[in-house]
Structure 1
Amino acid sequence: MFRSLKYRNFKLFFYGQSISLIGTWMQKTAVSWLVYRLTDSAMMLGLVGFVSLIPSLFLSPYAGSLIDRHNRYKILLITQVVSMLQAGALAALIFFKYYHIPFIIFLSLVQGIINAFDVTCRQSLMVEMVEDKADLPNAIALNSTMANLARIVGPAIAGVILSTFGEDFCFVGNFVSYVPVLICLLMMNLNITVMPHGQKSIWTELEEGFKYISGDKDLSSMIVMIGISSLFVIPFNTLMPIFAKTIFNGDAGTFSWFESAAGLGSVVAAMYLANLKSAKPMMRISIIASAIFGLSLVLLSYSGILPIALVFMTLSGLGMMAQTSSINTYIQTHAIPEMRGRAISYYVMAYQGMIPIGSLLIGWTADAFGSRMAVCIAGLIGLGATVSFVLYKSRFSSRRISALILHHK
């Protein structure tokens, strides 16, 4: 399961990011709790989620082209330094108890702009850190395991800190967590190959990337699948502060249980993916995971007892993690090298870029019909999308087989 850690560069990346992501989840948990505590508004929660991710919708394709043209290691260093500065500004804001919601939203937008480049860069750099490409799926799965362990540990620590010391300690903790990741990045020794691009403009390369993705039916259908999930299903998490505080009459600790339950399910899925010997079953895994994700949300929406709700929250984390990671792995292992950055950028656009719009949609749905109904609708859409994807793949496979038979005749 841990075979990718034998590569020094990936090991450094893994350890540095592990600490940094715990800080990131501490901050995310604290921001959600702080905003809901100050405003009591589901729409405001949706707005914060919107501005933190909407830049990915517009900037990710540009980021993919930029990363394909330049040294992605240097770009990653820059994004981490700027992220640290953003975290420092937010920490100072809360430490001095300047609870200015518009400024918190602005800083969330800044982080979203940084992430549009940072996430695409980190994903495309993965292949450079693993010398044997057969170990790439394992590295991607371990990276996902790390991210989701942080999703358990971060909110759990945040729950204790929020209850004991207050929000400002969570924000300061995130700022400090960038120190080890920068040290680890500076210790890495990567030989990055920058593909020659001649005199082509970046806009021409954007067009080439779109034509490549749209021309490959398998890649494009997987990206559409994650796009639908990100728009209508994944944003259910925006409403978890409401489930914790209003539906189950809890506090910040209760909210952290919901986040940690989803993280636990995600880790289980990531460990399963990390133990796979091949990337071949990724499409089948994505279908099964999508079905589990949708069904678990329908059951979560009807749960009346907290422990049962946490069980379905765990299953939702498992389904969501297996879906996103299997699609990510499929794209990274099937895209041609000169198009990998752009292919990943379309994945990031469909994944992270659709979530903010979905956050607004589910916030509006919750205000109009209630939080339980909003989560139920999200689950039903997820199940419907899974069925549609299976029918599309079956029809496409039948056409391909018919075409091959005609060709041989």
Structure 2
Amino acid sequence: MIILDPALAQNRDYKRFWFSQILSFMANQIVMMALAWHLYTLTHSALSLGYLGLVLFLPQVLLVLVVGQVADRYNRRKIILITQFLEAVISLTLCASVIFDIASSHWIFIAAFCIGGVRAFQGPALQALLPSLVGLDLLPKAIALGSASRQFATIAGPALGGLLFLGGTTFVYASSGLFFIIAFTQIFSIRFTEQTRQNAPLSWKVLTAGIQFIWQRKVVLGAISLDLFSVLLGGATALLPIYAEQILHVGAVGLGFLRAGPAIGALFLAVYLSRYPLQKNAGRTMFICVAIFGITTLIFGLSEWFFLSLIALIIMGAADMVSVVIRSTLVQLQTPNDMRGRVGAVNSIFIGASNQLGEFESGVTAEWLGVVPAVVVGGIGTLLVAALWLRLFPELYNWGKAEKPTSEN
């Protein structure tokens, strides 16, 4: 196990948390790859892939006010345990559906909706628990290292998933269920005791406190909305199965490499940032990386050469990772502990919208305009968003050091 910072290496609870997240994210990647490939083989429709992203995202919107309150009122470790257990149950249920030959596109959408609901509760609890485990001084490094872990899982998950497909779809779903169970045991072994958090009576003001908090802090609003719209418009990952089959002609094996491409670039940058956090010009760096993300999206969209497409995806992932680490660090450092659940729930909506809703947008646009025009239009849209946000949120552009934490409120 490689923990780059000695202080993090000495924190046993953090190491258990870190290892659990690697396993959990790998399992998620395996399940997502299996669901997307399974659905496409059943429907051969770009629109169905877009709907898959929408179904994953909807529970986050429907439950946003609930999940934030849950994370701020109840034990966050227990919330994570329950959600990981449910993820294991869903994976094993998918396995059983294949065994008993009841798998269909409708069944896949039902499973995706359940996964989205579980993730809606898990995301805010994970975001809120991390600062308490490591402290604010080590938080930027822990966020970067956590991002590196997720990217490693994003690389290893699809690659491992491709190998697991040799044993059949049943074996893929069963393996992901096993990973979730092991991740559960790691969180279960954490002995950290959380402090009592807010117990104010429920009211509309309390429920919407996370939204109000973000709206009042323009640098936070600018950071998460920039990430939302840039990835929403520029995301092409939902269309990778079509690129692999119809444009690049590399099949399922090539699809695994394409899905891993952004994670490879992101992994290298996340490891670097975990060792050397940004010391200055964080906001300016974020805008530059969003522009690079848009340019590489254009290159990928127009490319008909597999290696050029893969390189574009790698650079795209690296640029996006810098933006992710800056945004995540800024949000955590600006948010007091007793509000991290509610703020994290709203932040998860932005993250989910940029990913799952972005996949829906890509699928719909591809259905209307064609696959290549959809990606090209998305890349141009990302560049326009970066230029517009530069004028709307000058506070974000001028935000400097991403490492020094603010005090708890």
Q: Does 2:118 align with 1:145?
A: no
Q: Does 2:233 align with 1:232?
A: yes
Partner SS state of residue 290, structure 1: helix
Task: Name the CA distance, whole Å, in 2 between partners of 1:140 and 1:377.
Answer: 32
Question: How many Å apart are 1:100 and its aligned residue?
Answer: 1.3
Question: How many Å apart are 1:319 and its aligned residue?
Answer: 1.9
Equivalenced residues, count: 394
Task: Name the CA distance, whole Å, in 2 between partners of 1:365 and 1:118.
Answer: 30
1:390-401 paired onto structure 2 within 5 Å: 390-394=390-394
Partner SS state of residue 63, structure 2: helix
1:181 corresponds to which residue? 183
Task: Name the CA distance, whole Å, in 1 between partners of 2:281 and 2:9.
Answer: 23
Task: Name the CA distance, whole Å, in 2 between partners of 1:137 and 1:185.
Answer: 21
Gaps of 5+ in 2: 399-409
Q: Does 2:113 align with 1:113?
A: no
1:8-407 paired onto structure 2 within 5 Å: 8-130=12-134, 132-162=135-165, 164-198=166-200, 200-201=201-202, 203-234=204-235, 236-277=236-277, 281-394=281-394
Question: How many Å apart are 1:202 and its aligned residue?
Answer: 5.1
Larger CA deviation: 51-60 vs 132-141: 51-60
Task: Name the CA distance, whole Å, in 2 between partners of 1:396 and 1:384.
Answer: 17
Larger CA deviation: 250-259 vs 202-211: 202-211
Deviations 1:20-55 (A, max 9, x none): 322221121111111111111000111111111221
Work out whether residues 52 and 360 of structure 2, in 8 Å CA contact, stay in contact via their aligned partners in 1: no
Task: Name the CA distance, whole Å, in 2 between partners of 1:77 and 1:53.
Answer: 21
Structure 1 residues 127 and 279 mapped into 2: Cα distance closer, same or farther (>3 Å)? farther
Task: Name the CA distance, whole Å, in 1 between partners of 2:330 and 2:163.
Answer: 38
State the superposition RMSD in angstroms: 1.9
Q: State the TM-score, normalizing by the size of structure 2.
A: 0.91
Larger CA deviation: 6-15 vs 92-101: 92-101
Work out whether residues 142 and 274 of structure 1, in 8 Å CA contact, stay in contact via their aligned partners in 2: yes
Task: Name the CA distance, whole Å, in 2 between partners of 1:161 and 1:397.
Answer: 45
Question: How many Å apart are 1:283 and its aligned residue?
Answer: 2.5
Work out whether residues 54 and 352 of structure 1, in 8 Å CA contact, stay in contact via their aligned partners in 2: no
Partner SS state of residue 191, structure 1: coil
Question: How many Å apart are 1:395 and its aligned residue?
Answer: 7.8
Partner SS state of residue 133, structure 1: coil
Letter in 2 for 1:335: T
Work out whether residues 230 and 386 of structure 2, in 8 Å CA contact, stay in contact via their aligned partners in 1: no
Question: How many Å apart are 1:226 and its aligned residue?
Answer: 2.2
Letter in 2 for 1:148: Q
Task: Name the CA distance, whole Å, in 2 between partners of 1:350 and 1:27.
Answer: 22
Question: How many Å apart are 1:265 and its aligned residue?
Answer: 1.0
Question: How many Å apart are 1:220 and its aligned residue?
Answer: 1.4
Task: Name the CA distance, whole Å, in 2 between partners of 1:328 and 1:57.
Answer: 20
Work out whether residues 60 and 120 of structure 1, in 8 Å CA contact, stay in contact via their aligned partners in 2: no
Deviations 1:62-116 (A, max 9, x none): 3112211121111111111111111111121123343311011101100000101
Task: Name the CA distance, whole Å, in 1 between partners of 2:137 and 2:361.
Answer: 40
Letter in 1 for 2:182: P
Question: How many Å apart are 1:354 and its aligned residue?
Answer: 4.8
Larger CA deviation: 305-314 vs 343-352: 343-352
Task: Name the CA distance, whole Å, in 2 between partners of 1:170 and 1:387.
Answer: 43
Partner SS state of residue 134, structure 1: coil
Structure 1 residues 288 and 397 mapped into 2: Cα distance closer, same or farther (>3 Å)? closer
Q: State the TM-score, normalizing by the size of structure 1.
A: 0.91
The alignment-based identity, stated in percent, is 25
Larger CA deviation: 336-345 vs 239-248: 336-345
Structure 1 residues 230 and 301 mapped into 2: Cα distance closer, same or farther (>3 Å)? closer
Partner SS state of residue 208, structure 2: helix
Partner SS state of residue 189, structure 1: coil
Work out whether residues 95 and 169 of structure 2, in 8 Å CA contact, stay in contact via their aligned partners in 1: no
Structure 1 residues 280 and 56 mapped into 2: Cα distance closer, same or farther (>3 Å)? farther
Question: How many Å apart are 1:303 and its aligned residue?
Answer: 0.9
Structure 1 residues 307 and 339 mapped into 2: Cα distance closer, same or farther (>3 Å)? same
Task: Name the CA distance, whole Å, in 2 between partners of 1:154 and 1:327.
Answer: 25
Gaps of 5+ in 1: 399-409
Task: Name the CA distance, whole Å, in 1 between partners of 2:183 and 2:156.
Answer: 17
Structure 1 residues 239 and 397 mapped into 2: Cα distance closer, same or farther (>3 Å)? closer
Structure 1 residues 367 and 389 mapped into 2: Cα distance closer, same or farther (>3 Å)? same
Larger CA deviation: 88-97 vs 289-298: 88-97
